[in-house]
A and B are shown apart, each in its own frame.
Chain A
C-alpha cells in the first residue's frame, strides 16, 4: 500500500496540469485561470501536507477535520458557480444589446446602399 500523501499529491498535480494545458491551448482565459490555478496549488499543498487541515481544524475547534475540508470545498464551488451565473446573465444582456444594434445597423446600411444605387439612375434620366 502506498502512503495516502502520494495519492493526494498526484490528484492535485493532475488538476494543476489540466488547468495549465487548458490555459496554454486558449480554452480557458488567463483571468479565469487565476482562481483555478490558486485552487490547484492549494490542492497540491494540502496533498503534500494533509496535516495542515488537521491543524486548522484543531485551531477552529472542529473535531472532525474532513468536515472542515468539505465545508471549504463546497463554499469555494458555490462562490465560483454564483460568479458564473452572474457572468452569463451579464453576457446575455450584452449580446442582446449588440444583436439589436447590429440588426438596426444592417438595415440602415441596406437603406443607404439602395439610395446610392438609385442616384446614378436619377442623374441619367435628368440628362
Chain B
C-alpha cells in the first residue's frame, strides 16, 4: 500500500526541518503543503533537501491545504494519505501506528491523544462531540489517515466550504458511512507553544460558534 505523508504548514519553517527529517526515517513519500506562508524562502531549502512540496500563493486555511494534498495524491495514484502537523506536535511513531489500520481497510483513522489540552477546552470539545453525535472522541487531532475512496469524496461539494480539519470533516465523513477508527497515540507539546488554529480566546469562541452553527444546521 502506497502511503503519502502530508504535512500542511503555515509559517513554521524553523521547526519544520527536524519534523521532516524524523518522518523521512520511516516514510519514503512525504509532501509538504505550504498554505501561503509569509516567507517563501524555506521552499528552496526544502528543494535542496529533496522534499516535495505544493505551495499556495496566499493563505487559504489548513483544511484547504490538505485537500490540495489529496488532489495530488489522487493524481499520483497513492492508496492513502496520512496528515501530519508540521509544528512538531506529532511523532512519526504516531503515523506508524495509523498505517496498519489503513492497510486493514479503514477509510478514516484518527490518532488521538487524550492527555493534551486544558480542562475547560476539553469540556468544550466533549460538549461539541456529544451534540454532533460523533463516534470519534478527539476531533481536533490533525494526525489522521485517509483512504483513497475517502479522499475522492472529501475534496468535493460541501467539504470545500470547511475551514478546519476537525469536527466538520469527521461529521460529514461519518454521515457518508466511511469506516472510521480512533487509535491512541502519544503527542508532544508543539515546539512553537502557540496553536495555529487557536492563538487567542476570541478565536476559540468564534470557533465554538461556527462549529455550533455547523452542528445546528446539519444535525437532523
A residues at B contact (CB < 8 Å): 89, 92-93, 95-97, 99-101, 103-104, 106-108
Spot the interface stretch: B53-61, B82-90, B137-145.
B53-61
Which of B64-72, B125-133, B165-173, B196-204 is found at the contact surface with chain A? B64-72
Query: What DSSP secondary structure best describes chain B's contact surface?
Result: mixed
* B54 touching A103, Cβ below 8 Å: yes
B72 contacts A104, CB within 8 Å?
Answer: yes
The CA of A95 and the CA of B54, in the complex, are separated in Å by 17
Q: How far is the CA of A95 from the CA of B67 in the complex (A)?
A: 13
Report chain A residues within 8 Å CB of B161: 89, 92-93
Chain A hits for B54, CB < 8 A: 103-104, 106-107
B52 at the interface (CB under 8 A from A): yes
Besides the known contacts A89-B161, A103-B56, 19 further A-B residue pairs in the complex with CB atoms under 8 A apart: A92-B161, A93-B160, A93-B161, A95-B60, A96-B60, A96-B67, A99-B60, A99-B64, A100-B67, A100-B68, A100-B71, A101-B71, A103-B33, A103-B54, A104-B72, A104-B75, A106-B54, A106-B55, A107-B72
Q: Show 30 A/B contacts (Cβ-Cβ < 8 Å), sorted by A.
A: A89-B161, A92-B161, A93-B160, A96-B61, A96-B64, A96-B67, A96-B160, A99-B56, A99-B57, A99-B58, A99-B60, A99-B68, A100-B67, A100-B68, A100-B155, A101-B71, A103-B33, A103-B54, A103-B55, A103-B68, A103-B72, A104-B54, A104-B72, A104-B75, A106-B55, A107-B52, A107-B53, A107-B54, A107-B72, A108-B75
The 8 closest A-B pairs by CB, nearest first: A100-B68, A103-B54, A93-B160, A103-B68, A104-B71, A104-B72, A96-B64, A107-B54
Kindly list chain A residues whose C-beta atoms are within 8 Å of the C-beta of B58: 99
Quote the shortest CB–CB distance from B34 to chain A (angstroms): 9
